[in-house]
Amino acid sequence: MTEPQSSEALKSFLNTLRAGEVRTGRVISVEDREVLVELDGFSGPGKAVGRIPRGDLTRKAIGHPSEVMSKGQRLTFEVIAVDRQQECVWASASACEDPALRAFLLGLTRGATHQGQVQSVHNFGVFVNLDGEPADLCTGFIRGPELSWLRIDHPADAVTAGQRVMGEIIDVDTRRGQVQLSLKALQDNPLAPFADQAGLVTTGRVTKLIPFGAFVRIADGVEGLVHNTEFGDEPVEDPGQIVSEGDEITVRILEADLTRHRRTLSARNMPQDGKRSSCGRKQAASSHSAADRWCHQWPQLPEQ
């Protein structure tokens, strides 16, 4: 049995649509979670239906879609995706809600640099007023990991409100009206000098203990993990049995992967002469434990 002609016509129409383009239509249904629209431009039997999820209706806070949409209303929206299996279009009205904002966002290019002024700093990231954005809007956002190569406890450690910043554009979101920036992308990668340096022996300071190892800073902005299996011939259960934060130890670089930003270190069989050890203070396990064997390799220094 052949498919109805209406389905063939609809498939042909859907094949002309592309994600990111702007379309118009008429609201035919307002539901709790979405609004359905009939797309303009389809001349075949039946309807070409667009589905606008509740979160894509507007950037304003609403309780129900009926607060901003009504049956018969004309809409302009951006095509998010074409669902050929369900023979419909997923769309976003919020992407076209502010023409001036949309024009500004479409004028930006991923990979380009842009300047702005920090508006506010939060534990989850930084909002930035970008140069050239429409008045009374704040379109720039910097996630915490994109602020610096250095490990920081809070975004306020990297920037402050009112500060001028320049970042690389890593994403432009017309639906949310947001531009994601990276300050880190314009900074020199401090790990670069250690690329292809596997086997290099150096010293570093323990900066943080975690259940499965210790982070050691071997240069400004460069920290690597010494896993519990890399403290001695046998793994230890708790890195705190071996080192304390602030201890200076000798390590060997096992891996410095620029692509994955991965730094792995080893303290196995490394001479620790002259380095401050916490083993004498913390050792409470049996002398036959792996921790004991590690401590016996370190000189016992007087308490400070």
pLDDT for res 210: 92
The per-residue pLDDT for range 95-148, each reduced to its tens digit, is: 999 999 999 999 999 999 999 999 999 999 999 999 999 999 999 999 999 999
For residues 209 and 7, give the distance between their C-alpha atoms in angstroms, rounded to a whole number. Answer: 62
> Do strands 74-83 and 88-92 pair parallel, antiparallel, or not at all (unpaired)?
antiparallel
For residues 194 and 201, give the distance between their C-alpha atoms in angstroms, rounded to a whole number. Answer: 11
The per-residue pLDDT for range 270-293, each reduced to its tens digit, is: 877 544 444 333 433 333 333 343
DSSP 58-91: -SS--SSGGGT--TT-EEEEEEEEEETTTTEEEE
φ, ψ for residue 300, nearest 5 deg: -85, 115
The per-residue pLDDT for range 236-262, each reduced to its tens digit, is: 889 998 899 999 999 998 887 776 667
Confidence band of 68 (pLDDT split at 50, 70, 90):
very high
